[in-house]
């Protein structure tokens, strides 16, 4: 920890002028340079690049992916990436697990809930502090996901990381993180999210700690904005609220390590400089952040409760139309106005597997027990729904317009069953009594008509 302030980080001015350091838009074709004239004009790979830079393409999709999905970025860097790895040695990262990870001793079938994973005194970085809760699918076939809780109290100094296994969707709950990536710097606070693309190198500084949050590691096709259908061209997450950093680079010649996650295994390589040496870039494969407060929820305005897919922020397709590898869904402050309606989420069994996390406040279906930093899991075809007090309260409430205040939870929902890790089953603060929350639900039926 410590010397981050003495680093020289050269950063471009924002071309938009309004939000220093970021460019607005989702999946845009951006261009940015930290030194004037570093970006070639009119071509990608000139015979010689300005400043003696090397041109390199980073392909986030197959070359032949359809135009609307095709993502790549051209980087103009101090050294090509082949100089940012040497020989690899395998290292242990016992708490960061990948699918398939099916322990025959563990029971993933059940409704589970955890208190926040507690901070530790041991120094943990964003990488070494990753604690996998569930895995789904198969990292080797690029299907499925893993859900993690991260604990971070130490900055990565001359330590860099990238994952070949998928993009990371980061959902902070406590603390401030700064992601120094190859393509620029992202500051991330609670109520924001960030996406770090597959293959992108970065280090993570803990600006204010200890930091805790949630990560969805997406092994499959990238997150995209959902189609809105009849909702039209606006609301939900709007593209202009996504921010991609302007170019920033480190010209730093010091012994450094790069850790690489590849097919579920971790490898380390040693180099003599910072790999964050991209002086200019253009393209559409880039890290991005988003303020969840800009999410515009759409919902019921007369009766009944739409499916929670109405709250989808981002969706990662699976190849089967309409069935996501992952949906990222947000339950935030909103008005409840439906008439003659049971307003909380209804009782439910789902082919999709639902992992939820609480960012702050109180979730309407579970007034108690699901606390900020906590996690719950309702796996494939496992019933769930309001607990007894929530059911009784919502069944008897006077249905005036009510604003749900002080609430922000999310869901990572996947088509693949989620398997508990040994950490989630044995070390994390599992609530043994979660299933008892439905104990108080009464049989009201007695064969006679009328409301009970």
Binding residues for homogentisate: 384
Segment 151 to 180, residues that bind Fe ion, using CB under 5 A = none
Q: Is 83 in the site for Fe ion (CB under 5 A)?
A: no
Torsion sign across C-alpha atoms 212, 180, 132, 434: positive
Any idea how long the chain is?
452
Strands, E assignment, 139-264: 143-152, 159-163, 167-181, 184-188, 192-196, 202-218, 242-245, 248-250, 256-262
Q: Which stretch binds Fe ion (CB under 5 A): 97-105, 234-242, 343-351, 357-365?
A: 343-351
In Å, the largest CA–CA distance within the chain is: 86
Nearer to Fe ion, 177 or 382 (CB): 382
Active-site annotation holds for 282: no
Tokens of 249: 């680079």
Give yes or no for a contact between 63 and 98, defined as CB atoms under 8 angstroms apart.
no
Q: Is 348 in the site for Fe ion (CB under 5 A)?
A: yes
Shortest CB 328 distance to Fe ion, Å: 15
Shortest CB 374 distance to Fe ion, Å: 17
Distances (CA, A) of 411 to 66, 231, 260, 422: 29, 21, 27, 22
Nearer to Fe ion, 166 or 344 (CB): 344
Q: Which x/- pattern, by CB under 5 A, does the window 354-393 give for Fe ion?
A: x---------------------------------------
Give yes or no for a contact between 436 and 110, defined as CB atoms under 8 angstroms apart.
no
Nearer to Fe ion, 218 or 353 (CB): 353
Q: Which stretch binds Fe ion (CB under 5 A): 8-16, 43-51, 137-145, 351-359?
A: 351-359
Shortest CB 144 distance to Fe ion, Å: 19
Number of residues located near Fe ion, criterion CB under 5 A:
3
Under the phi-then-psi rule, with left for phi > 0, alpha for psi from -120 to 50, and beta for the rest, what region is 441? beta
Nearer to Fe ion, 208 or 304 (CB): 304
Q: Is 305 in the site for Fe ion (CB under 5 A)?
A: no
3-class DSSP state of 233: coil
Shortest CB 12 distance to Fe ion, Å: 44
Residue 277, exposed/middle/buried by CB under 10 A (0-12, 13-18, 19+)? buried
Shortest CB 421 distance to Fe ion, Å: 22
| DSSP bridge partners of 260 | 162, 267
Classify residue 236 by its DSSP letter: B
Residue nearest to Fe ion (CB): 348
Shortest CB 378 distance to Fe ion, Å: 6
Q: Which stretch binds Fe ion (CB under 5 A): 87-95, 182-190, 321-329, 350-358?
A: 350-358
d(CA 439, CA 242): 43
Strands, E assignment, 66-166: 72-77, 89-91, 111-114, 130-138, 143-152, 159-163
d(CA 150, CA 209): 12
Nearer to Fe ion, 217 or 354 (CB): 354
Distances (CA, A) of 143 to 37, 220, 263: 41, 5, 12
Q: Which stretch binds Fe ion (CB under 5 A): 138-146, 314-322, 341-349, 389-397?
A: 341-349
Q: Which residue among the candidates 148, 180, 267, 305 is catalytic per the annotation?
A: 305
Give yes or no for a contact between 180 and 21, defined as CB atoms under 8 angstroms apart.
no
Nearer to Fe ion, 111 or 350 (CB): 350
CA 144 to chain centre: 14
Shortest CB 412 distance to Fe ion, Å: 12
Nearer to Fe ion, 83 or 348 (CB): 348
Q: How far apart are the first and last CA of the chain?
A: 62
Q: Which residues are catalytic?
A: 305
Which residues form the interface with Fe ion (CB under 5 A)?
348, 350, 354
């Amino acid at each position: 920890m410590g010397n981050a302030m003495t680093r020289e980080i050269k950063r471009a001015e924002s071309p938009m002028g309004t939000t220093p350091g970021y460019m607005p838009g989702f999946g845009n074709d951006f261009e940015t340079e930290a030194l004037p004239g570093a970006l070639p004009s009119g071509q990608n790979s000139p015979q010689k690049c300005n400043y003696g830079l090397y041109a390199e393409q980073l392909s986030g999709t197959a070359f032949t992916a359809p135009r609307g999905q095709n993502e790549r970025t051209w980087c103009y860097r101090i050294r090509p990436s082949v100089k940012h790895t040497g020989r690899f040695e395998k290292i242990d990262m016992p708490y960061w697990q990948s699918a398939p990870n099916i322990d025959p001793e563990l029971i993933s079938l059940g409704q589970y809930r955890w208190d926040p994973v507690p901070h530790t005194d041991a120094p943990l970085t964003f990488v070494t502090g990753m604690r996998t809760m569930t895995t789904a699918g198969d990292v080797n076939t690029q299907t499925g996901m893993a859900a993690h809780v991260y604990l971070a109290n130490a900055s990565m100094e001359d330590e860099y990381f990238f994952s070949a296994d998928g993009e990371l969707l980061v959902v902070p709950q406590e603390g401030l993180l700064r992601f120094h990536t190859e393509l620029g710097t992202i500051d991330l606070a609670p109520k924001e999210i960030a996406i770090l693309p597959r293959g992108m190198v970065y280090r993570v500084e803990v600006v204010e700690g200890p930091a805790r949050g949630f990560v969805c590691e997406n092994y499959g096709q990238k997150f995209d904005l959902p189609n809105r259908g009849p909702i039209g061209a606006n609301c939900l997450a709007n593209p202009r609220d996504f921010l991609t950093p302007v170019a920033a680079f480190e010209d730093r010649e010091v012994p450094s390590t790069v850790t690489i996650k590849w097919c579920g295994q971790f490898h380390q390589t040693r180099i003599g400089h910072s790999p964050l040496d991209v002086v200019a870039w253009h393209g559409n494969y880039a890290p991005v952040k988003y303020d969840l407060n800009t999410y515009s929820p759409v919902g019921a305005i007369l009766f009944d409760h739409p499916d929670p897919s109405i709250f989808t922020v981002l969706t990662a397709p699976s190849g089967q139309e309409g069935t996501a590898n992952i949906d990222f869904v947000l339950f935030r402050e909103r008005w409840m106005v439906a008439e003659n309606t049971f307003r909380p989420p209804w009782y439910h069994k789902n082919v999709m597997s639902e992992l939820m996390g609480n960012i702050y406040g109180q979730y309407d279906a579970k007034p108690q027990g699901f606390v900020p930093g906590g996690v719950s899991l309702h796996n494939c075809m496992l019933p769930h729904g309001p607990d007894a007090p929530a059911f009784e309260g919502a069944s008897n409430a006077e249905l005036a317009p009510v604003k749900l205040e002080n609430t922000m939870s999310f869901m990572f929902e996947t088509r693949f069953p989620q398997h508990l890790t040994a950490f989630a089953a044995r070390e994390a603060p599992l609530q043994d009594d979660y299933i008892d929350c439905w104990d108080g639900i009464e049989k009201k039926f007695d064969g006679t008509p009328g409301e009970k």
